[in-house]
């Protein structure tokens, strides 16, 4: 069985993840806890059908810049996935000062906007929900990646969006 080690970061916390592949099944250890995982990709979509310890789950997994967007059974999160090498290199990277500029919350998939939870002028915190998009019959909640002030709301409920379409622009700071 081939083994690969990763670090998955979600909500600012990193978890060691080890994946062993073999015979159509993955053995995944997250923070030391082993789970048996069977998975099948739905052809032509970002949808995955999973059995985790014999419990069925639906997941959408989409690359979103240098992060990943994961919706597991309707619970959506952005996460980063790195290797031991990435983690070591990050220790030597320059430290960030106060952030300036703007951040755009974009839809990583096509869908229908079902809710916009902010308006221009609102102050938002990192992790705060700003919009919801329905894609493939699943509600996907999108959150601000950084704290700041909403300077532009690009969509309204009922609007169709394409992959990469901006939802909200936030002035950082």
- What DSSP character marks residue 150? E
Query: From CA 166, how far away is CA 12, in angstroms rounded?
Result: 24
- What DSSP character marks residue 83? -
Say which CATH topology domain 3-92 has: Glycoprotein, Type 4 Pilin (3.30.700)
Q: What is the pLDDT of residues 7-59, one digit of tens each?
A: 888 877 888 888 888 776 788 888 889 888 888 888 888 888 888 888 999 88
Whether the Cβ atoms of residue 142 and residue 76 lie closer than 8 Å to each other: yes
The residues of the chain that CATH labels 2.40.50.100 are 101-172
Q: What is the pLDDT of residues 136-154, one digit of tens each?
A: 888 888 988 888 999 999 9
The CATH number that domain 101-172 falls under is: 2.40.50.100
The residues of the chain that CATH labels 3.30.700.30 are 3-92
CA distances from 11 to 14, 15, 80 (A): 8, 11, 10
Cβ neighbours of 36 (radius 10 Å): 12
pTM above 0.95, yes or no: no
Q: How many CA atoms does the CB half-sphere of 42 hold within 13 Å?
A: 12
């Amino acid at each position: 069985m081939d083994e690969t080690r990763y670090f998955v970061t979600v909500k600012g916390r990193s978890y060691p993840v080890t994946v062993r592949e073999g015979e159509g099944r993955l053995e995944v250890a997250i923070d030391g806890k082993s789970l048996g995982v069977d998975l099948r990709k739905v052809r032509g979509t970002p949808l995955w059908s999973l059995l985790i310890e014999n419990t069925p789950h639906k997941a959408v997994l989409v690359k979103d810049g240098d992060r990943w967007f994961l919706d597991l059974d309707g619970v959506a999160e952005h996460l980063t996935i790195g290797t031991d090498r990435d983690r070591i290199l990050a220790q030597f990277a320059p430290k960030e000062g106060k952030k300036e500029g703007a951040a755009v919350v974009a839809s990583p998939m096509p869908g229908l906007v079902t809710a916009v939870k902010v308006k221009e002028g609102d102050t938002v915190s990192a992790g705060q929900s700003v919009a919801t998009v329905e894609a493939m019959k699943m509600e996907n909640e999108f959150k601000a990646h950084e704290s700041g002030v909403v300077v532009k709301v690009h969509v309204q409920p009922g609007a169709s969006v394409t992959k990469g379409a901006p939802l909200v622009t936030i002035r950082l700071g």
